Amino acid sequence: MAEPAAGAARGDVVIETRGLAKRYRGTLAVDGIDLSVPRGSVFGFLGPNGSGKTTTIRMLMGLIVPTAGTARVLGAPMPRSSRSVLPKVGALIEGPALYGFLSGRDNLLRFDAADPTADPRTRGARVGSALDRVGLAAAAEKKAKAYSLGMKQRLGLAAALLQPRELLVLDEPTNGLDPQGMREIRGLIRDLSADGTTVFLSSHLLDEIEQVCTHAAVMARGRLITQGTVAELSAGARGQLVVTTPDQAKATGVLAEHGVTSLATSGQRVTGELPPDPPDLAEVNAALVAAGVRVRGFGMERASLEDTFVRLTGEGFDVAG
């Protein structure tokens, strides 16, 4: 089982689980996970469909009761402390629940009015600010049932941002967004983190996690495989050597002679994995040139989170979510 983040005292951790498990009709959906989310981090929760991510989030938010183990959010046990914890947490889980017959603005007014801690005198200003932050100010008076999927995601995120939050929990927040919308939401997440909000982000989009997250955890088949900083996780998978050349056949032969394995060609790219005791790259490059290979590019390509996922689980990532 993966170890929690080293050196983090309880006050520096906003989410902490010990042996957290959930069983449904004999099926173990979440299998005794120990998760530790540092305060101030943007924490990516990775895993393919059916890995247990959403079930874990529902337990953390007190929506379902665990079969075994414990969960603490903002230092308090869940679900027992839901009433005191949840006002400090913004959440977008499994898509927003909206009133289709109401406008985007009126939906947020309803959500804000349901919050006993919200000051009614400043409700309009809060709603207007939230709509503006997610780029929906121009569509504020449009009925929610006419919103696209991406617009509904934005409105759900606006609802989570009506009040300042210590913790923001987002389940697939960029679902349905176009590339520009995804960039805007990533920028918003960075801004929230800079303001001191811890963001717990569940996603199946590995490049999204790499671009915005400081820490990550990998789930597979209900188990927590690993967790740590994004840099640490990516460093666990070895990068690959990339040679750009029109002479792929010659290059492949030279690289094989120097112990490079898993050689593959695509266009003018030849890629391969270095052996455990790698040769001097300058010597490899010189050998390519000496063999008449026209080298247009030569270097190492760093490993990605996808490489890490495949290495840890032995399977590809289900990008369908």
Give percent of the chain above pLDDT 70.
88
pLDDT value, residue 210:
77
Compute the average pLDDT of residues 251-264.
91
The CATH number for 10-235, chosen from 3.40.50.620, 3.40.50.300, 3.40.470.10, 3.40.630.30, is 3.40.50.300
pLDDT tens-digit map of 4-32: 443 344 569 999 999 999 999 888 999 99
Give the CB-side neighbour count of residue 52, counting CA atoms within 13 A: 26
* Higher pLDDT, residue 219 or 127: 127
Taking domain 240-302, whether its CATH number is 3.40.50.20 is answered by: no
Domain boundaries, the chain: 10-235, 240-302
Under a CB-based contact definition with an 8 Å cutoff, are residues 89 and 74 in contact?
A: yes
pLDDT value, residue 236:
55
pLDDT value, residue 238:
59
SS3 164: coil
Closest CA to 22 of 287, 222, 271: 222
SS3 228: strand
pTM: 0.73
Compute the average pLDDT of residues 208-214.
83
pLDDT value, residue 307:
60
Q: Which burial class, exposed, middle or buried, applies to 191 when counting CB atoms under 10 A from its CB (0-12, 13-18, 19+)?
A: exposed
pLDDT band at 313; cut points 50, 70, 90: low
pLDDT band at 306; cut points 50, 70, 90: low
Q: What's the token pair of residue 270?
A: 């030849």
pLDDT value, residue 319:
40
pLDDT score of 315 more than 60: no
